[in-house]
């Protein structure tokens, strides 16, 4: 299943947005990047914009498309298509999830993410993109 996800930079500082999954869903209570299933007839970019609107109420600029990650969970295989984005405002609301939080990259290891996210978290921890003034 194809999942479009948004790594969303804060409009003014170097934090990114994470959201907590609800208690009654696949991978319940894990923290994640906002996103979800790409619908039939929709591009991944359309899906990431729609999911971001639906789940956290934000409009975004898409900055980069990162390599996809395919992961087998028991009973389900997902392919994550990550997009590095910038939010146009900072008023993220937890519309589809339990909570949202703006966090620094250094704080990410304090939150529990699904297994499939491990390469993304590593890339973010190595990355200078989130502290570079130009991005």
Ligand X SMILES: Nc1nc2c([nH]c(=O)n2[C@H]2C[C@H](O)[C@@H](COP(=O)(O)OP(=O)(O)OP(=O)(O)O)O2)c(=O)[nH]1
Q: In the complex, which residue's CB is closest to Mg ion? A: 36
- Kindly tell me which residue out of 35, 58, 85, 124 binds ligand X, with binding defined by CB under 6 A: 35
- Tell me if 92 contacts ligand X by CB under 6 A: no
Q: In the complex, which residue's CB is closest to ligand X? A: 36
Q: Give the footprint of Mg ion on residues 9-48 (CB under 5 A).
A: 36
For the chain, the C-alpha Rg in angstroms (whole number) is 14
Residue identified by tokens 């028991």 is: 74
Question: CA-CA distance, 100 to 29, in Å (whole number)?
Answer: 12
**Total residues binding ligand X (CB under 6 A):** 17
> Bridge-partner residues for 31, per DSSP?
20
Bind-site residues: 21, 26, 32-35, 55, 117
> Which stretches of the chain bind ligand X, using CB under 6 A?
3, 5, 25-27, 32-33, 35-37, 51, 76, 78, 80, 114, 116-117
């Amino acid at each position: 299943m194809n999942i479009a996800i948004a790594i969303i930079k804060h409009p003014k500082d170097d934090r990114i947005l994470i959201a907590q999954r609800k208690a009654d869903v696949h991978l319940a209570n894990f923290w994640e990047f906002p996103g979800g299933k790409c619908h039939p007839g929709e591009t991944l970019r359309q899906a990431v914009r729609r999911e971001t609107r639906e789940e956290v109420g934000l409009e975004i600029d898409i900055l980069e498309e990162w390599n996809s990650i395919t992961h087998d969970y028991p009973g389900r295989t997902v392919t994550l298509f990550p997009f590095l984005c910038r939010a146009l405002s900072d008023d993220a609301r937890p519309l589809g999830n339990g909570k949202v939080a703006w966090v620094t990259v250094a704080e990410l290891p304090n939150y529990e993410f699904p297994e499939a996210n491990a390469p993304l978290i590593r890339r973010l921890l190595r990355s200078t993109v989130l502290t570079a003034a130009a991005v």
